[in-house]
Structure 1
Amino acid sequence: MSEVRDKASLAKQTATTMSRLTTEQKNHALLHMAQALTKEHVSIVAANELDIKRGRENGTSESMLDRLTLTQKRINDIAEGLREVVLLPDPVGLLMETFDRPNGLRVEKISVPLGVIGMIYEARPNVTVDAAGLCLKTGNAIVLRGGSAALESNRRIVEVLREALAETDLPPDALQLIEDPSRSSVDEMLKLNGLLDVIIPRGGASLIRNVVENATVPVIETGAGICHTFIDASADAVMASDIAFNARVQRPSVCNSMETLLIHEDFAAIHLRVIADRFLAANVELRGCPRTLELVSEAKPVTDEDFATEYNDYILNVRVVANLDEALDHIRKFGTMHSECIVTEDKANAERFLQEVDAAAVYHNASTRFTDGFEFGFGAEIGISTQKLHARGPMGLPALTSTKFRVYGNGQIRG
């Protein structure tokens, strides 16, 4: 039996036990996991340093290395995220609806775990802990397949978490890590119907496209983040600059960072030069439309391919538009239904933008960087769904549950 099938089978065998756990048992396990992470931070950082060394040798960009890096502080923050999940309400076993039928049947709708979740993701090792915590809190077993760039980090993290689970009521086999870094391990996971109940991909556009197009196991699609900020003519100049700068520079390697800045031509004529200087001073490469190039000589020409690219780097597309209609058309063409922002003092334009833009999160006068489970008050997130079925936006605990109907009778038969 292959590693993938073997570990998925072990996870599947725990599903019944996981579904019976009490909130207290699950919370105790998460607290024990958090404690273990902080206690073992030295060994986790040491494993992470092997990944960082290999990444540098392979020419990985500094922004991606930052995304990969673990420090004692980051590990403490990750552990604190688990403790915050403990404080969140348990969404499993909730009585969501009840009704009586004319024939005397009493019907209850309750929330239940999804079962066994397969998680395929790329370089961020914090996702390993976030996903484990969220899935275990909701009574789900989880099979993790992280990217090869974080293999040593993920291996040590999962070892620590499984050792912690062994001292609780949760079965350690409910948490599995696929260590095979080859593409074949992903391909095998996509076909594990009967062992995996759902797959959640989290990463770049090519990974997500591969999962969506080739999986026979049901998929909750988390989308690539080609996010836009549109600065309208009436925008406050200081606010617009701060929001746009934060959306690109604060952490460029994440999916809710801005890739393209759209600017109304009237605003651009007065303020684009100052905004561009701020980006250039932060070593952001600007790629612009012809009107942008007239106003910012340092910018390089932008292409449609650029507009369709999630850079995960200090690169920003800039396009000057004539009006809101042109901005909306651009977002419809190039957006990935993730997060979009308008900066404006015009209430009518703001409402139209919020109404018409088809995205998981739409913002008025706030950075797209807030599309995040923690920022929305969900605790850690397992991903940001850009689809419209089951879950959309940051997926916290409730998104990892399904429903079951319990029907009570006293001998009814259907005629």
Structure 2
Amino acid sequence: MDTYQLLEDMGKKASAAARKLTAASPEMKAKALMRLSELILEKQDAITAANAIDLEKAEEKGLDAPRLNRLRLTPETIAEMANACKFIADMDDPVGAIETQWQRPNGMLVGKMRIPLGVIAMIYESRPNVTIDSGILCLKAGNAIILRGGSEAIHSNLELARLLHEALEYAGLPKECVQVVPTTDREAIAAMCKLEEHIDVIIPRGGETLIRKVVELATMPVLKHYEGVCHAFIDKCADLEEAINIIINAKTQRPGVCNALEGLLVHKDVAEQFLPMVAKELGAERNVEFRACPRSFPLLGATAVAMRDSDPGTEYHDLILLVKVVDSMQEAQDYIAENGSNHTEIICTQDYNRALKFMREVDASCVSVNASTRFNDGGQLGLGAEIGISTSKLHSYGPMGVRELTTTKFVIFGQGQVRQ
């Protein structure tokens, strides 16, 4: 069986599974999720062993440190996956809920019922925990999903898929509700993009090259989960002690993830006071390299290098931070509009009106006032988990949890009405 035939067969099975899943009760879905939580903890050694194979092969291929970090499954991340299953199981099931209802003059009741999207295809890189997060969210939302992870995570993903299948069958649901593409053949992506008969939406989660390829090839709607080029603007009205703690967290907690800080924009009125704090706390104490504009360079110490033409708009995935002094908030907003990726942008200010202006005018899936970029995450925002952070405004913008993986249809309750 060639790659296209393999994917077409998976698509047919996913379509059939999605129809059965639509009729599944909330209790059946919760049963599968709770069993999966147990299995993840029971089979931790098997998960770790599969992940070790991927890590060894990735190191042999020279995978860089940020991608190795995303690939690695630790006891903590495994526990987080198990806890996410429980959290999603306990959430209200959105499927079938009639959210709004109104009566027409002829007596008909018209409502909007929340329904699954259908079959989702997901293409992602490096992170095997995405396999679990995507699987459990789609299950709760009533969708079947076909997962194509990065080739470097194939052993981890297949082991996690085995646990998903066991949990689904335990609850009386078809295992084809969640399928992992079992080949590392690059043609699998192109094949998935042509299966509009079986796949309702495709979600690429990764870098620019992957997303452009999927957008170019896909014959079904694409929800882009683009890279995170996130900025912080330190306003002239900022509490600088508060701001430095936010910047430390946003840049250094996990520099390889999409909601890490990549660019620091500082108002000229506070630059001479704030940038030496940045140099000490991030440069001297945490070894962050600064890509500095001419105005910030003299204030940033030994770890500063001159900003290059390629730096604006770059997602570093590392302890590297672009630093630029701006004359006004408008200049900061213009810079973000030109170089941001519509992911996460923050402002540090104590001026309420300036904060509201920034929130209203900056185009990003999450805009934050006096809080770290790291909070743009499904778990942190109360969604339980996320399939990714959408940088597309249609159909959803920002972290996509269970509700964002559904849509609505109109329903009518009549008593024999006919159109005149």
TM-score if structure 2 supplies the norm length? 0.95
Is 1:306 aligned to residue 307 of structure 2? no
Q: Provide the residue aligned with 1:75 in structure 2.
A: 78
Alignment of 1:386-401 (within 5 A): 386-401=391-406
What does 1:40-55 align with in structure 2 at a 5 Å threshold? 40-55=43-58
In structure 1, how many angstroms separate the alpha carbons of the residues matched to 2:35 and 2:381? 25
In structure 2, the partner of 1:178 is: 181
1:286 corresponds, among 286, 290, 293, to 290
Q: 1:73 corresponds to which letter in structure 2? A: E
1:382 aligns with 387
Aligned-pair CA distance for 1:380: 0.6
CA distance in 2, matches of 1:304, 1:158: 43
SS in 1 for 2:379: coil
Which residue of structure 1 lines up, in the alignment, with residue 90 of structure 2? Answer: 87
| Aligned ranges 1:233-248 → 2 under 5 Å | 233-248=236-251
Q: What is the CA distance between 1:118 and its match in structure 2? A: 0.6
Distance across 2 between alignment mates of 1:14 and 1:171: 6
State the 1:286 CA deviation: 1.3
Is 1:295 matched with 2:299?
A: yes
Q: Distance in 2 between matches of 1:408 and 1:265?
A: 62
Partner of 1:333: 338
Is contact 1:42–1:72 with CA below 8 Å preserved after alignment?
no
Structure 1: distance between partners of 2:352 and 2:101: 42
Match of 1:252 among 243, 255, 263: 255
Query: How far apart, CA to CA, are the structure 2 residues paired with 1:316 and 1:5?
Result: 44
Query: What per-residue deviation string (whole Å, max 9, x for no partner) do you get for residues 62-102 of structure 1?
Result: 22212111122321111111101111111100012233434
- 1:109 is the counterpart of 2:112: yes
Residues 165-210 of structure 1: per-residue CA shift (max 9 Å, x gap): 2221211111100122232111111111110011112122222222
1:368 to 356, 373, 385: 373
Task: Return the letter of the residue paired with 2:121.
Answer: G
RMSD over aligned Cα atoms: 1.6
Q: CA deviation at 1:244?
A: 0.8
Give the Å deviation of 1:57: 1.6
SS where residue 130 of structure 1 aligns?
helix
Would the aligned equivalents of 1:144 and 1:177 in 2 still touch at CA under 8 Å? Answer: yes
Residue 330 of structure 2 aligns with an amino acid whose one-letter code is D
What's the CA shift for 1:16?
1.5
Question: Which structure 1 residue ranges, 5 or more long, are not aligned?
Answer: none
Checking the alignment, whether the CA contact within 8 Å between 1:37 and 1:161 is kept in structure 2 is no
The aligned residue for residue 122 of structure 1 is: 125
Among 341, 346, 357, which residue is 1:352 paired with?
357
- 1:19-72 C-alpha deviation (Å, 9 max, x unpaired): 001111100010011111111110110010111112212222222212111122
Identity %: 45
Cα–Cα, structure 1 residues 97 and 269, in superposed 2: closer, same or farther, change >3 Å? same
Amino acid at match of 1:266: D
3-state DSSP class of the match of 2:310?
A: helix
Aligned counterparts of 1:145 and 1:111: Cα–Cα separation in 2: 27
Paired with 1:283 and 1:57, the residues of 2 have a C-alpha distance of 27
User: Residue type of the partner of 2:296?
Assistant: T
SS at match of 2:156: helix
Distance 1:408 1:237, change over 3 A: closer
Q: Which amino acid aligns with 1:285?
A: E
TM-score normalised per structure 1: 0.96
On the 8 A contact 1:81/1:379 being kept in 2, the answer is yes
Structure-2 residue corresponding to 1:197: 200
Look up the match of 2:322: 317
Amino acid at match of 1:292: S
Cα distance between partner residues in 2 of 1:274 and 1:104: 67
Q: Deviations over 1:333-360 (max 9, x none)?
A: 1011111011112223212111211111
Q: C-alpha displacement at 1:253, in angstroms?
A: 1.2
Runs of 5+ consecutive residues of structure 2 not aligned to the other structure:
none
Q: Is contact 2:279–2:301 with CA below 8 Å preserved after alignment?
A: no
| Kept after mapping to 1: 8 A contact 2:278/2:300 | no
Are 2:279 and 2:299, in contact at CA under 8 Å, matched by a contact in 1? Answer: no
8 Å Cα contact 1:259-1:317 kept in structure 2: yes
Which whole-Å CA distance do the structure 1 matches of 2:140 and 2:373 have between them?
28
Residue 135 of structure 1, aligned match among 138, 141, 146: 138
Q: Which moved more, 1:289-298 or 1:394-403?
A: 289-298
